[in-house]
A and B are shown apart, each in its own frame.
Chain A
Amino acid sequence: MTNTAEAREVVLRLNGITKRFGSLTANDSVDVTLHRGEVIALLGENGAGKTTLMNILFGHYTADEGTVEVFGRTLAPGATGAALKAGVGMVHQHFTLAGNLTVLDNILLGTAPLWSLGRGRREAQARVRKLAADFGLAVHPGAKVGTLSVGERQRVEILKALYRDARVLILDEPTAVLTPQESDALFETLRKAVDQGLSVIFISHKLHEVMAISDRVLVLRHGKLVGETPTAETTPHALAELMVGAEIAQPVPSEAKPGATLLSLRSVFAHPPGHRTGLQGIDLDLRAGQILGLAGVSGNGQGALAELISGEAKPQSGEMRLGNKAAPPWSPRAALAAQIGRIPEDRHSTGSIADFSLTENAILESYKDTALSRAGWMRWSAAEAFAKQVISRYDVRCPGPEARIRLLSGGNMQKLILGRALESNPRIILANQPVRGLDIGAVTYVQKRLIAARDAGAAILLISEDLDEILGLADVIRVMSEGRLSPEFLRGSMTATELGRWMAGEGFDRAA
C-alpha cells in the first residue's frame, strides 16, 4: 500500500511549520504530508512538539512560519474551526464530551447553525446509527455519555468526527486508556475508515501499535522532524532510538528472590469515597524482593487498593497483616510507621504541593522525625541537607532546593518523589503509575531504581495501566477487575492478549 503513495492525492500538508515560545522552539520547520487512504504515525516523547503541531493545525496557535493546507487550500492562520470545516476531525486524549448529555446530543453539538430549529432528531439518529454500523462503532445514541465506558466514549468522539464528514482523523494517544481488546476494535475501525478513503494521523508513543497500524512513521524530537520512514522498513528499536536520540536499554530485572511476606490482605473489603469501584474481598501478598504488577483498566478498584495501602483508607472488613502481626489501627501515619514508601498516582495533586519549595516537599512525609524537627521546632538546615541529598542521588534537575516544585518538569518532580520515598529504605513500596506521562529517559531511570529497591529486599506493588510496563517489570502479575483480583501469574506465563481478557473481566467467576 505504500509504494504508490507519491501518486495519491494529498489531503493534508504542513509546510515548514515553525513555532517559538520565547527561547524555546516547539516546532522547527516541520513538514508533514498525508495522502488519501493513508495512516501515518506521529511519534515523539513528551515535549517533542506533537501537541503544538496539532494546535497549529486547528488554529489554537498561530505558527511563526509555515502554512497549513487541507485538500489543496491554505487555511487562514489562527482561525479556530477552519480545519474542522475543511474536514479534519480530532479525537483528543482527554475527551471533549458532556457527561450529562446523551450520545446523540454530544454528536449534534455545533452541527447546525445556532439560530435555526435544527434538523430532525430522528433523521440525525438514523445517520448516527448508519455511521456506527459502517465503521463498527457500537454505541447507543440515547445513552448518557456519563454512563459509558472509556472505550465507548472514544467511539462517540470518532462518531462526532465522522458525523461532521471528516476525511482526516487525528487521534491523540488513543489507546492510552483502552484494554488490548478495545484497542483491537479501534484498529478495526481505523482500517474500515481507510478502506472508505479516509486518512489517519495516529499520535502515540506505543511502538508496537505504531508498527501495527501505520503505513508511515514520522518521528519528532525537540520540535524537529528527525525521521520519516515507511513502517515496513523500520523496527521498534530503531524508532525508539530516533525518539530519544540515543541508544536506549530497557531495564531487564534479574531473577527475583522472593523472601518473607511483608504485607498480606485476606478477604478485604473497602470502598473509600471518590472511587467508582471498591475492593470486593481481595487476598493479596506482598513479598520481600518481589515486584507484584497490578494490571487493569483504570477505575476497577486500583485507586481503592492504593488508598488502602497508603493508609488513606481503612479496610471495612477482612484482615490486614504486616509481616506476621496484625496491622495497627490504620492511618497514613501508621503506613509510614510500617515503612511503606509511597509513590502516589497523581504527583501534582497528592504527591506534592506546587508552591512549596523542593526542601519542603522533600520532607512532607518525614518532618516529624527527630532529625528534622525537635520539640516542635523545624530544623531547616537538616531539611535542606536532606533535600540536597535527594537532589544529587536521584539526579533531580532543578535550580536548587529553594525552588518551587511547580517549576520542575514531570520527570524531575517524579524523581524527587521517588527519592523521598526510597531514601528511608522502605520495606514496602507502593508505586502507583510511577512512570505515567514521563519521557523514555525518565521512565528508564525510575524503573531501574525500583528494580534496585527490589534487589535490596523491598516488596513492591506496581500499579499500572500500561501492560508493557507490567510485563517488563513485574515478577508476579495480577489483574484487577470490578474490585476483584485474578490469581497470581508468574513472569512470562501470560501474553498481553491473555491478560487483556482478564482486564475485560473474563475468568474471574471461574477463578472464584
Chain B
Amino acid sequence: MEIFEILLSASFWAAAVRIASPLIFASMGELICERAGVLNLGIEGIMVVGAFAGWMAVYAGTGLWVGVGVAMAAGMLFGLLHATLTVPFGLSQHVVGLGITLLATSAAYYAYRLALPEVTSPPRIIPFQLYEVPLLSQIPILGQALFNQTPLTYLAFAVVGVTAFVLYRTPLGLALRAAGENPSAVEAQGLSVTALRMGAVIVGSGLMAVGGAFLTMSAFDSFFFEMVNGRGWICIALVVFGAWRPGKALLGALLFAAFDALQIRLQQTGLGMLVPYQVFLMIPYILSILALILMSRRAEVPAALMVPYNRGER
C-alpha cells in the first residue's frame, strides 16, 4: 500500500512539521488573545502583514532575525489598533477583526506595490536554512522530522512551551486567564482588565505575524499575493480544537499539517490518476471538521470571550 510507505517516510513527517510551524505561531497568538477574552479575527490579515514585512526587511538588507523582529513589530502595530478598538472602546470584536483583516491585507499589498512598482515576479531572498541538531537528528524517522528543520520551526515549539508556562505557572498568566473568565474578578483585585487584554492582543498579534513571516522566510523565499490562503482561519479552528490549551492546539496544528502533507503525496499516487485533485485538497479540511466535532464537545470556552468589559457595569 502506498499510504503506508508515505506514513513511514521521514520526508513526510518533516513536511508535516514544516507545514505546521506557521500554524503553531499563529494559533498560539490567537490562543493568548482568546484566553484574555478577545476574539482576534484580524489574524488572517496580520499574517499577511507579517509575511510581507519580514520578507521586505530582509530584501532591504537586514538580517533574517531582524526581519522576524520587523514582522513581529508590524503585527503588534495592527494588534494595537485591534486592541484599542475592542478593549477600551468595546466595539464588536467580529466587525473590528474582519476590518483589521481587510485593512492589513490591503495595506501589505499596497506597500508591496509601492516598494516594487515595476517587478513582475517578486524578488527572492535567502531564507532560513535547515539546521540539523547533532545526535537528536539521528533518531530514525522522528529525528529527521523534528530535528532537521529551520531555526524558526524550533522557535515555534519553544513558543508553545513558553505560552503554556506563562499561562499556567505565573501570576501574569493567571490574571490573563481570569480576564477571559470573569473580568470583574480581576478588577476586584485592583488589576487592570484593559491593560491585560490589550497586552494579550498586542503580543498575540505579534506571534501571528511571525507565523506569516515563516511562509516568506522559511517555507518559501518570496512573497506572493494570497499566500496566507486561509491559514489564519484554520488557526481560529485550531484554538477551538485545542480547547484553548497550548499543548492540544499544537497537537491540532500537527494533525492538520499531517493531513495536508498526506493529501499532496496522495495526489501523486495511482489514486491521484482516478480522483480529481480537488478532492484531495478537501481532505485536511473535512478531517479537521470531524476532529473538531469530536474534540471540542466538552471544551470550556473562556466565559468572557467576546464580552467587552466596562468598569462599573454588571
CA distance A109 to B178 in the complex (A): 8
Name the residue on A nearest B177 (C-beta): A101
Q: Is the CB of B191 within 8 A of A110?
A: yes
Known interface pairs A60-B312, A109-B174; A117-B169 also in contact (CB < 8 Å): yes
Stretch at the interface among A21-29, A92-100, A180-188, A266-274: A92-100
Q: Mark B95-127, 1 if CB is under 8 A from A, else 0.
A: 000000000000000000000000000000000
Interface positions, chain A 89-113, Cβ under 8 Å from B, are 90, 92, 94, 96-101, 105-106, 108-113
Interface check A81, CB cutoff 8 A: yes
Are A110 and B175 interface neighbours, CB within 8 A?
Answer: yes
Q: Is B226 an interface residue, CB under 8 A from the partner?
A: no
B190 & A109 in contact (Cβ 8 Å cutoff): no
Q: Which of B188, B189, B300 has the most CB of A within 10 A?
A: B188
Residues of chain B contacted by A60 (CB below 8 angstroms): 312
Q: Is the CB of B171 within 8 A of A116?
A: yes
Q: Which of B169, B181, B190 contacts A98 (CB 8 A)?
A: B181
Q: How far is the CB of B204 from chain A (nearest CB, A)?
A: 17
Residue A114 at the chain B interface, CB threshold 8 Å:
yes
Known A-B contacts A60-B312, A98-B181, A99-B182; the reply to A109 vs B189 at CB < 8 A is: yes
From A90, A109, A111, A116, give the contact of B186 (CB < 8 A).
A109
Bitwise interface map of B from 287 to 314 toward A, beta carbon under 8 Å scored 1, else 0: 0000000000000101100000000101
| Interface residue from A100, A105, A110, A118 paired with B189 (Cβ < 8 Å) | A110
Q: Is A80 on the interface with B (CB-CB < 8 A)? A: yes
Cα separation A117 to B171 with both chains bound (whole Å): 7
CA distance A101 to B172 in the complex (A): 14
Is A118 a contact partner of B170 (Cβ separation < 8 A)? yes
Q: Cβ of B303 and Cβ of A98 under 8 Å apart?
A: yes
Query: Which residues of the other chain, A, contact B182 by a CB distance below 8 angstroms?
Result: 96-99
Task: Please give the distance in Å from B166's CB to the nearest CB on chain A.
Answer: 10
| A96 contact set on B, CB distance < 8 A | 182, 184-185, 187-188
The CA of A407 and the CA of B33, in the complex, are separated in Å by: 38
> What separation, in Å, do the CA atoms of A108 and B191 have in the docked complex?
13
- B 179-209 binary contact with A (CB < 8 Å = 1; else 0): 0011011111111000000000000000000
B171 touches A113 (CB 8 A): yes
Q: Which residues of A contact B177 (CB under 8 A)?
A: 98, 101, 105
The number of inter-chain residue pairs (CB within 8 angstroms) is 72
Known A-B contacts A97-B182, A98-B181, A99-B303; A116 and B174 likewise in contact (beta carbons under 8 Å): no
The distance from the CB of A400 to the nearest CB of chain B, in whole angstroms, is 29
Name the residue of chain A whose CB is nearest to the CB of B244: A100
A353 within 8 Å of B (CB atoms)? no
- Is B175's CB under 8 angstroms from A109's CB? yes
In the bound complex, residues from chain A placing their C-beta under 8 Å from that of B171 are 108, 110-114, 116, 118
Are B170 and A101 in touch, CB under 8 angstroms? no
Closest to A80 in B: B190
B178 surroundings in chain A (CB, below 8 A):
98, 101, 105-106, 109
Pick the most buried of A92, A96, A117: most chain B CB atoms within 10 A of its CB.
A96
| Nearest neighbor of B314 in chain A, beta-carbon distance | A94
Beta-carbon contact of B169 and A101 below 8 Å = no
The answer to whether B190 and A117 have CB atoms under 8 Å apart is no
In the complex, are the beta carbons of A100 and B300 less than 8 A apart?
yes
- List the A residue with the shortest CB-CB distance to B176: A114
Among A92, A101, A111, the most chain B Cβ lie within 10 Å of the Cβ of: A101
Report the nearest B residue to A117, measured CB to CB. Answer: B170
**Known contacts A92-B188, A96-B182, A100-B300; A105 and B170 CB within 8 A of each other:** no
Complex CA distance for A86 and B114, rounded to whole angstroms: 58
Chain A: CB-nearest residue to B304:
A98
Q: Let me know if B190 and A118 touch, CB within 8 A.
A: no
* Contacting residues, chain B, for A116 (C-beta < 8 A): 170-171
Selected contact of A106 from candidates B185, B191, B312, CB within 8 Å: B185
Report if A101-B188 is in contact (Cβ < 8 Å); known contacts: A116-B171, A117-B169, A117-B170.
Answer: no
Which of A84, A98, A99, A105 has the most B CB atoms < 10 Å from its CB?
Answer: A98
Query: Which 9 A-B pairs rank lowest in CB-CB distance, beginning with the nearest?
Result: A81-B190, A110-B189, A98-B181, A112-B171, A98-B182, A96-B185, A96-B188, A114-B172, A118-B171
Chain A residues at the B interface, C-beta cutoff of 8 Å: 60, 80-81, 84-85, 90, 92, 94, 96-101, 105-106, 108-118
Given contacts A98-B185, A113-B171, A114-B175, 13 further A-B contacts (CB under 8 A): A80-B190, A96-B187, A99-B181, A101-B178, A101-B181, A105-B174, A106-B178, A109-B175, A110-B191, A114-B191, A115-B172, A117-B170, A118-B174
Q: List 7 A-B contacts (CB under 8 A).
A: A84-B190, A105-B174, A106-B178, A106-B185, A110-B171, A110-B190, A112-B171
